[in-house]
Each structure stands twice: as C-alpha cells, then as structure tokens.
Amino acid sequence: MSRNKGLTVDPSAKGLGLRDWLDSLGPGSGKAAAFDTRVDMPALLTGHASKGIGKKLRSHGFELVAAPESFLVSGDSGLLPGELDRARAWGQMLASTVKDEHRPSS
C-alpha cells in the first residue's frame, strides 16, 4: 500500500496510480485535459489534483485545451447535484475546442 501526502491507496487497486502513470510518461505531444473530483470544501483544505495533473501533462509536452477543472462530490464520492451537467458541459466544450482546431479554414 503506497502513501502520498497522507492519502492511502486501496490495497486491492490494480495497476499504476495516476501519479505513477504520469511519472512513467515519456515525452509526448498533442492535446490533453485535466480534471479531478473533490469534496465540496475549500480547495485549500482538499487540494486540487487537477492542477498537478495539468502541470505533469504540460511537463511531458502536452498542450492543455482547457484550464484544469474540479467536480464536486459528496462524502461517499457521488457527484453533487448539478455537477454531472457541469461535467457534460465541460466535456462538450473540450470536444468543441478540439473539433474547431481541426476544422479546415475556408
């Protein structure tokens, strides 16, 4: 069981954790986006994993197509009311951004 900043990884989890996977990436290129889920408390108390994920992705050569985003969950990790709609809108914005970049100029 690994520990990082007071967090404990579920011992039954299989494969690499996100931090380990990001650390194992070689140089890359292309578009990327970063998000996290966190309890609805001030980010100062809960952290903002998406910012660190975005920083790691950029350090490996990826271009973020949007600012890192957090979606709020309850204590049992279910999305809070309105967050699913917000996540869908964010995903649509990401898709639109990437699609617009690949649209031929007239």
Q: Kindly report, residue by residue over 37-80, the tens digit of the pLDDT.
A: 999 888 888 888 999 999 999 999 999 999 999 999 988 878 99
Confidence of residue 3 (pLDDT cuts 50, 70, 90): very low
Instruction: Note the pTM of the prediction, 2 decimals.
Output: 0.77
**Domain map (residue ranges) of the chain:** 17-102
Look up residue 104 and give its amino acid: P
Percent above pLDDT 90 for the chain:
49
User: Chain-centre distance of CA 84, in angstroms?
Assistant: 15
Q: What is the pLDDT of residue 7?
A: 55
Average pLDDT, the chain: 85
**Contact between 34 and 53 (Cβ < 8 Å):** yes
